[in-house]
Chain A
Amino acid sequence: MWQRRAFLKAAGAGFAASLLPQRAEALETAELLFATATQESPGRFGARVLTETGKLITNVDLPVRGHDVTYSREAGRAVVFARQPGMFAVVFDPAGKAPSITIPSIEGRHFFGHGVFSPDGTLLYATENDFANARGVIAIYDVAAGYKRVGEFDTCGTGPHEVILMPDGKSFAVANGGIETHPDYGRTELNLDTMDPSLAFVDVRDGHLIGQLRLAAGLHQLSIRHMVVDAQNRVWFGCQFRGDKADRPQLIGYATLDGEIKLIELPPDALGSLDNYVGGLAVSADLNTIAASSPVGGAILTLDVSSARPSGVTLLAHTCGAAPDASGFLATNGAGDLLGLDGSPAARQHFDFQFDEHLRQLRT
């Protein structure tokens, strides 16, 4: 895997030369690149593109907390979405050459913090909230038109969080968390008694619902929020439980386009390490291992995809960011720590900024 070379190719000739000397040097020695939202100091937020050793390549300032970052080599842009109820997304050039573009949310909608580019980089999709109607949508932005909002699809659920594209590029998988929020109430969850989470497959072309999968009725307070796809096109999902704290439902499962959805059976100690909360998922470079992070439990659980059994637990307080490197995973946390696990050679480091919830490898 030589991601740096592909990134440099996408960034264009002269990119490295355009960087400040220390950033150019960092890029020169980097194997992989990652992006994350950050808190630079109390009340000052941003997003960074980093090497696997945490060296800064580019950064943007944000007025409030960001959440996830998505990237398209074809578009040559990364987008950081404001944390929900987010009123903007910022499109930036990871190469730092082009000016950033701010996409404001339209009236009656706000961002949920996640999005994805189309495979050809011509469209950007983002989960948004039609908050007057408690209805989730996938908003569509035209890259060539300066990220003009050109339409939206219904997610057929409330509170969609992450949206991903299936590997064939023909359908979205949407995690309808089922939680109603309204910006007049900040991040307050307004319908915990009547939550209706689901995982929906939506057609990329026309937005029609291909299929919608729900867990057992007794698990209606299990909010489906983050997803990754394995080599067999199974969508692995991680949940957050909003019911009684004393209950310990299973939190991780997988779904397929054939209509199967199931939670895997984690043993009590592995399940307990997540403390009813999966904050993010990542899949390894070989697609054989999944990392599930829990900022509440302060743990990252790794799972063997083929057996659906845990392979290890790493305790890291306030962790949430997890992303694959060449041989394992990098994990980050809200205290400014970065470390490697599950075979990653990365040494633990501490930084003077805080990592926000998601860490993304810039796939090129």
Chain B
Amino acid sequence: MRLLLAAGFTLLTMPAFAASAIPFHDMIAGTITDYARPKFAAFAGTAATLRDDVAALCRTPSAGALTTAQDAFKAAVVSYSEVEFFRLGPLGVDNRLERLLFWPDAKGIALRQVQTTLASKDPTATSPATLEKKSVAVQGFGAVEFLLFGTGADDLASATGAYRCSFAGAATTLIAGIAETLSTEWVADGVGSASDAMLNPQPTSTDYRTELEVINKLAGTLSFGNDTIRDQRLSPVLSLTTGTPKPKSALFWRSGMTAKALAANFQGLLDFFNAAKFGPAVAGASGWVAKSIVFEFGGAIAAANDVPIAADGPVTDPTGMLGLRQMYVSTGSLDTLDESLSIAMGLSAGFTSLDGD
């Protein structure tokens, strides 16, 4: 077979016009040093705090301890939302994504399974070792949000909620464990590490064969993140097929974190964009592309931050819904600009190679 392939093998490397004003290696190094490592470390920190605060709540239940745990949940959601679309490397393997967040969940599977688990007081949900083997729908942020904010969450402030708290303790321990693993794997720099695979691509590698391939995947991450925000976070709420918004189709509506998570999504992508030096890469005649992307991210973040949160719960008021619509429009602009960015660099990420069909 090798001989056969060699005989018929035609190597056509990337087009000659693929170009950046700065070395690709600098872009990759910037991504790792200024985005992946600090952001995943921050997530590991907030996840550990969440785990510890839920453990403290379980040891000594009180209204104050519950509030502390809820606040820790919100902080962990923000830090995760800043990294969740960076799926190259550690986050994209071993079902870590699904174990951290079972979403989208159009059929409400997680809610049903969590409620069933609570009703039966299934003992296997109270230990990380056994919970890990159960459905991903009863693990991760979705399950923890219902346990800390959903119907019956007030029980956590007293001994009445002991089982529920143990369930939350196991789930937050698993989240913290994954977060720590992600950070550790990004910090590693030896042969075979995620950063080494990106910084030193090899023709025989199954990860990346060239630096240009890495850059393409980095550019694709921008498009992927943008599309995912639009398709999984905004579109289900706006429900354009029915014309009637569905506020409870929003991620994190129970904790009132829908808009803050969206702001963190956009902020995380913007931070990645800057860390990867896409701006300097297209300096010059195409500099307008990078400036426009930064401008659009700013508009989307502002729209998310302007969504009123008078009380915890879903976005229902017209002003809030208008904010979601503004973000939806921003994703359309960013979609086009991401394409312009790829063209300016001679790439084609996101057009045919990363979005399925």
Q: Measuring CB to CB, which residues of chain A are less than 8 angstroms from any residue of chain B?
A: 39, 42-43, 67, 83-84, 113, 131, 161, 182-190, 225, 240, 244-246, 267, 269-270, 272, 279, 295-296, 298, 302, 309-320, 333-335, 337, 339, 341-342, 348, 350, 354-357
Contacts and interface: CB of A to CB of B under 8 A. Distances in A.
B120 interface: no
Contacts of A318: 348, 351-353
A225 B356 CA distance: 11
Nearest to B352: A334
Given A182-B106, A183-B241, A245-B92, A310 B351 contact: no
Contacts of A279: 352, 357
B351 A186 contact: no
A296 B354 contact: yes
B343 interface: yes
Given A185-B232, A190-B104, A245-B93, A315 B11 contact: yes
Interface in B87-112: 92-93, 95, 104, 106
B50 to A, nearest CB: 26
A83 B351 CA distance: 12
A246 B352 contact: no
B191 interface: no
A244 B347 CA distance: 27
Given A269-B1, A313-B10, A184 B232 contact: no
Residue picked from A42, A225, A270, most chain B C-beta under 10 Å: A42
Contacts of B8: 302, 310-313, 342
A293 to B, nearest CB: 10
A333 B15 CA distance: 11
Contacts of B348: 317-318, 333-335, 354
Interface residues of B toward A: which range? 35 or more
Nearest to A296: B353
Contacts of B241: 131, 182-184
A160 to B, nearest CB: 13
27 contacts: A39-B351, A42-B336, A84-B357, A161-B357, A182-B106, A183-B235, A184-B236, A184-B240, A184-B241, A185-B236, A244-B93, A269-B5, A270-B1, A272-B206, A296-B354, A298-B213, A312-B4, A312-B5, A312-B7, A317-B12, A317-B14, A317-B212, A333-B348, A335-B346, A339-B12, A341-B10, A342-B8
B11 A185 contact: no
Contacts of A335: 14-15, 346-348
B265 to A, nearest CB: 15
Nearest to B1: A267
| Secondary structure dominating the interface of A | mixed
B339 interface: yes
B74 interface: no
Interface string B233-265: 001100111100010010000000000000000
Given A42-B336, A185-B231, A245-B93, A334 B351 contact: yes
Nearest to B332: A43
Given A42-B340, A184-B235, A315-B11, A295 B353 contact: yes
B337 interface: yes
A356 B1 CA distance: 31
A182 B336 CA distance: 23
B227 interface: yes
Contacts of A240: 356
Contacts of B354: 296
A346 to B, nearest CB: 13
Most buried by B among A302, A313, A341, A356: A313
B12 A316 contact: yes
Counting chain A CB atoms within 10 Å of each CB, the highest count among B10, B335, B351 belongs to B351
Given A190-B104, A317-B14, 10 more contacts: A161-B357, A184-B106, A184-B241, A184-B246, A188-B104, A309-B1, A317-B216, A333-B352, A335-B346, A348-B12
B164 interface: no
Nearest to A44: B336
A161 to B, nearest CB: 8
